[in-house]
Structure formats: structure tokens, C-alpha cells
Amino acid sequence: MIISLNWLKQYVDIPVDTPTFVHDLTMLGLNVEHCVTTGPDDPRIVVGHVVERESHPNADRLSLCRVDVGDATPIDIVCGAPNVAEGQKVPVARVGAKLPGGLKIRKSKIRGVVSNGMICSQVELGLGNDSAGIMVLDAGLEPGRPFVEVVGQPDAVVEIEVTPNRPDQLSHLGVAREVAALYSTSLRIPAPTINSANVAEPICVTIDDPHDCYRFTGRVVRGIRVGPSPEWLRGALERVGLNSINNVVDIANYVMLELGQPLHAYDMALLPGTTMGVRRGRPGETIRGLDDNEYNVDERHLLITCEDRPVGVAGVIGGMDTRVTESTVDILIESAAFRPRCIRETRKQLRLNTDASYRFERGSDREMCARASARACELILQVAGGSAGEFVDRFPAPWEERRVAVRKSNVRRLLGLTLGTDEMAHLLDRLHFEVVSTQDDTVTVRVPSFRADILEGTDLGGGGTSAWIRPHWTGMVVSGDDLVSSRSIRKLRAIHLRSPGRAGPQ
């Protein structure tokens, strides 16, 4: 799981510097595999406006550009990119600037023409993988503005190892939760508010088997404009390894990485109707997935249907025929929760593996569905316009209250650590395990919906609490290093083997 620290800081304050933070994460159990700082921070990288562009007199593939960087007169820059054009707003690294890769910009002559800087591509700025051409920025930016203001402070991106028992850590909020508990700082959970317009057509939802699908929510957003995503969204996704598709799909991915809830958006004009269903497939049914492959489905697979026709493989991949495109105007956002094993069996059988199925097969937080749907709506209204429509929530299998008792004596027995029940209660509370009662030896807590891995009191010894306490392990000294005899015998045998016939030790 790739986490951007700048993104993470939206939900929690990090009171230590990055190297310390990386160490703390590792010691928490979130093993940091890589840490990369991305993004430029040099003030001499600014927004430029390409006022004029003409072909370089001495080289076919080069352009000579006159670029306004906020000075009295525009500067001359030679550019080799195929996509540079008049009128564009572009990132310009001026003479003296240092790029994230280490390159320092100097005044130079390229094929006989002076160049006073460099127009940059994403790769050169450490912002993405696109090296095909220069980065084109929002037209509204003014020339001379420091690029750092446009794209935000340099970010540190860490890849953490998330173990299969902790699906709650597969999102920025999940990691923020752990961080907040570690440093005893507060957690800021996004709390979207939506003003729904009056309902036009009611959406219907039927769930065949609540054992397979715990919850299905659908939300309508009307009158949107699908297009490229704004820089903050594109940058956030690309920094954590995803490609930007369009503003709607990007928001769905953003919310998945933010809250851990996979979402899917359907183009309502392409849906056969307004009755959504979740059911097993029937022999002979097929569906064309977003990956443009045709899948044969039957009762082994769980499907999302509309007017009983398959429109998606539940929890795995959406359908090609109902996807959001540039011409989409009204969308239906699906935010649902499914039985992990059901999703796993479906996706393995179809030989698929997606970000969505990865989270569902490990167990998603069903209580998060509605909030994630609202959050996506809020952001879509922001980047694509439109108005919020109806919201439907079928929740046949809510999270059942689960209580576990954590015994002080077990903590002592298993961890070798003496903790009082008050201390334990405090720690557990910080981890969102609501304390129900405290007795002599026991603290009883409610397991939150995002910790389905906790089945009994001893489970909390591990992923739960031991990391927090960072106990001072007491050790007992074991004596008796009597290895001499067997070692000597082996040594004799080895010597004997190496010298047949020669007189060995008598």
C-alpha cells in the first residue's frame, strides 16, 4: 500500500520528522519498504506562459519559445517536446533551479540558440511517469507564480507492507488512525454534508442473499461534466501509483484510497433501468468487463444487475457497457459491502485481481459505505459540477456487536508484561475499542467494524496492543552451554574424513 504523507496529514498531524516517522511506522508493524520524496521545491521553478512558439532555426525537432515568467520581458527557452504550443501554461525551471533528480539548470546554447531555462515534464519534476511531453497546467494560473504553490509542498511517499489480517490499513484514513493512536493526536475523519435535490425517480435495490452482500447503497448525481481532473487530484493519485482517467473515476479511486471503501460509478443513461440487484449469476450469462474481456458467469459468481441484467461483477470489476465516459451526464454511485470469501472465490475463478477485490476479500468496513458515498458525491460536485440526487441504502446485515474480554493475566502470561486494567483500558480506547466495562482482571471492549480480525481477547495481544506498549521485555537467563561434547565429536569426524589412512588423533 502506497501512502502519501501530504495526503495523510489531512487526517492527522505528524509531530515528528519523516525519517523518525518511517521508523515509527515500521516499529508499529507497518513495515516501510520504500520511502521516496517527490515533487520540486525550488522557488526558481515557476509557472510560465508560452507567448510565442516557433521552430528552432537549426533543428527540426526543437522549438524556440518566448515564455512569460512574470518578468518585464519574456525569456527565450529552447524546448524539445512535441506538445509545446502557444498559449499554454507550463512549468518552467529557470536558470539556477535545481530539479528533484539533482539536475541544475544553466543558461545554455542549444544548436546555436540561447536557452534561459527548461520547460519541464512530469518526470523531470518528480511528479509522475509521463515523459512523453511537457506538463501542461491549468490555463488560469498566472505566470511567475512559484510552481510549489500550484502543486503543493514536496511529498514523501512510503510503501508499507500491510499484512492480510489488517485490511483496515489499506487506506489513508486507516493508517491515520494508527498514527493518531501512536502519537495521541486527534484524527480528522472527513464528514461530508450533502444537500439532496428532490427525488425524480426512486432507485430500487434488491439483495438476493444478505449472506453474500451485507449492504448496497446507491446515490444519484445529476448534470455533471466529465473531463480531466484538477491538478490536486491527478497529482494525489499519480503519487501513489494510480493513473488519472477522468474526474469521476478519479474521485471514486481517491475515496477508495482515502477511506478504504471501493466505489463504482455507472452512467445512468446506459443503465437499462432503475432497479439494481445483487445476485448470483445464472448459467449462460456473460458480462463484458471494464478491461474489455468477456466473462462467462454462473452461480459461482456474485453479480450486480440492473433490471436483472448483469452490469458488473460484484466487488471485482464494473461493466464496459455502463461505464462513465466523456458524454456521461448522470451517474449512480455504488458503495457496498460483501462477504470476503464470496468475492475471493469469484475473482479467483475469473482470474481477476483488482484494487477493489483486494480490499473486499480481506474484509471491508461495512459501516463506512454511506460516508464514502457521501464523500464521493461531495468531491464530484466540486470537480464535475452537478447536483446530488437520491440516496438509497439497503443494509440487511449490519455489523453485529462483538465484545471481547482482554485479560490482564493473559497480557502478563503471553507478553511477560504487567499492565493495570486502567492502562489497558486507556490504550484500547485510543485504538477505537470502546470500553464497555472494567473488572479486576478484565477489560471488556466492543470491536469496531473495521477490525473484523479481532475474534477474541488474545487477538488484541498482537496487532492490537503490543505494538503500542513497546514493552521492556524481561528476560530470564538460561545457563548450560554444554555443547562441547557433540561439537568435539563432529570436529573429530571431519578431520578423520579428510585424511584417510593418515594417523588421526589417537
Partner 1 sequence: MEIESLEREIHTRVAAAADLDALDRARIYFVGRKGRLTALLKGIGSAPAEDRPRIGAEVNRLKELFGVLYDARRTELTSGSPNPYYVPPVDGTLPASDGHTGHRHVLVRTMEEMCDILRGMGYRLASGPEVELDYYNFQALNFPEEHPSRDLQDTFYITDDILLRTHTSPVQVRFMEEHKPPLKVMCPGRVYRNEAIDQSHAAEFHQIEGLYVDTDVSMADLRNDVQLLIRQLFAPDTDIRFKPHFFPFTEPSVDVDMTCHVCRGSGCAVCGRTGWIEIMGAGMVHPNVFRAVGYDPDKVSGFAFGIGVDRVAMIRHNIGDIRQFLANDFRFLNQF
Nearest distance, CB of residue 233 and partner 1, angstroms: 30
45/145 Cα distance (integer angstroms): 9
Q: Which is nearer to partner 1, 282 or 490 (CB)?
A: 490
Pair type for strands 275-280 and 434-438: unpaired
Q: Which is nearer to partner 1, 373 or 465 (CB)?
A: 465
Instruction: Count the alpha carbons within 13 Å of 341 in the hemisphere toward its beta carbon.
Output: 1
Q: Which is nearer to partner 1, 28 or 384 (CB)?
A: 28
Nearest distance, CB of residue 369 and partner 1, angstroms: 21
501/38 Cα distance (integer angstroms): 69
Q: Which is nearer to partner 1, 191 or 476 (CB)?
A: 476
Q: How many residues bind partner 1 (CB under 8 A)?
A: 45
Nearest distance, CB of residue 341 and partner 1, angstroms: 5
Q: Is 293 in the site for partner 1 (CB under 8 A)?
A: no
Nearest distance, CB of residue 404 and partner 1, angstroms: 12
Residues 402-421 that bind partner 1 (CB under 8 A): 412-417
Q: Which of 163, 206, 286, 437 binds partner 1 (CB under 8 A)?
A: 163
Closest CA to 37 of 127, 120, 103, 104: 127
H helix intervals, 201-313: 231-239, 247-259
Nearest distance, CB of residue 114 and partner 1, angstroms: 42
Nearest distance, CB of residue 478 and partner 1, angstroms: 6
50/174 Cα distance (integer angstroms): 43
405/402 Cα distance (integer angstroms): 10
Closest CA to 304 of 236, 360, 226, 385: 360
Q: Which residue shows C-alpha cell 487506506?
A: 171
Nearest distance, CB of residue 456 and partner 1, angstroms: 7
Distance from first CA to last CA of the chain, Å, rounded?
Answer: 64
Strand partners, 90: 48
Closest CA to 188 of 202, 196, 201, 176: 176
Residues 468-497 that bind partner 1 (CB under 8 A): 473-478, 480-483, 486-487, 490, 494, 497
45/437 Cα distance (integer angstroms): 58
Q: Is 461 in the site for partner 1 (CB under 8 A)?
A: yes
Nearest distance, CB of residue 167 and partner 1, angstroms: 9
Q: Which is nearer to partner 1, 383 or 431 (CB)?
A: 431
Say what the alpha-carbon torsion angle 69, 71, 73, 76 is, to the nearest 10 degrees. Answer: -40
- The CB density around residue 219, as the number of other CB atoms within 10 Å, is 26
Per-residue binder mask for partner 1 (CB under 8 A), 318-347, x = binder: -----------------------x--xx--
- The x, y and z cell numbers of residue 387, run together, are 447536483
The answer to whether the CB of 65 falls within 8 A of the CB of 53 is yes
Q: Which is nearer to partner 1, 2 or 415 (CB)?
A: 415
- The x, y and z cell numbers of residue 344, run together, are 475471493
Indicate the SS3 state at residue 477.
coil
The answer to whether the CB of 117 falls within 8 A of the CB of 77 is yes
Identity of the residue numbered 406: V
C-alpha torsion sign, points 264, 267, 270, 274: positive
Strand partners, 156: 37
Q: Which is nearer to partner 1, 167 or 389 (CB)?
A: 167
36/23 Cα distance (integer angstroms): 14
Indicate the SS3 state at residue 210.
coil
Pair type for strands 2-4 and 31-38: unpaired
Q: Which is nearer to partner 1, 18 or 382 (CB)?
A: 18
Q: Which is nearer to partner 1, 191 or 497 (CB)?
A: 497
Q: Which is nearer to partner 1, 61 or 502 (CB)?
A: 502
Per-residue binder mask for partner 1 (CB under 8 A), 165-194, x = binder: xx----------------------------
Q: Which of 140, 164, 283, 505 binds partner 1 (CB under 8 A)?
A: 164
Strand partners, 89: 49
Nearest distance, CB of residue 27 and partner 1, angstroms: 6
Nearest distance, CB of residue 360 and partner 1, angstroms: 11
Residues 27-86 that bind partner 1 (CB under 8 A): 27-29, 31
Q: Which is nearer to partner 1, 140 or 164 (CB)?
A: 164
Q: Is 111 in the site for partner 1 (CB under 8 A)?
A: no
Q: Which is nearer to partner 1, 33 or 201 (CB)?
A: 33
Q: Is 262 in the site for partner 1 (CB under 8 A)?
A: no
Q: Is 498 in the site for partner 1 (CB under 8 A)?
A: yes
User: Which residues sit at the interface with partner 1, rule CB under 8 A?
Assistant: 26-29, 31, 163-166, 341, 344-345, 361-362, 412-417, 456, 458-459, 461-463, 466-467, 473-478, 480-483, 486-487, 490, 494, 497-498, 500
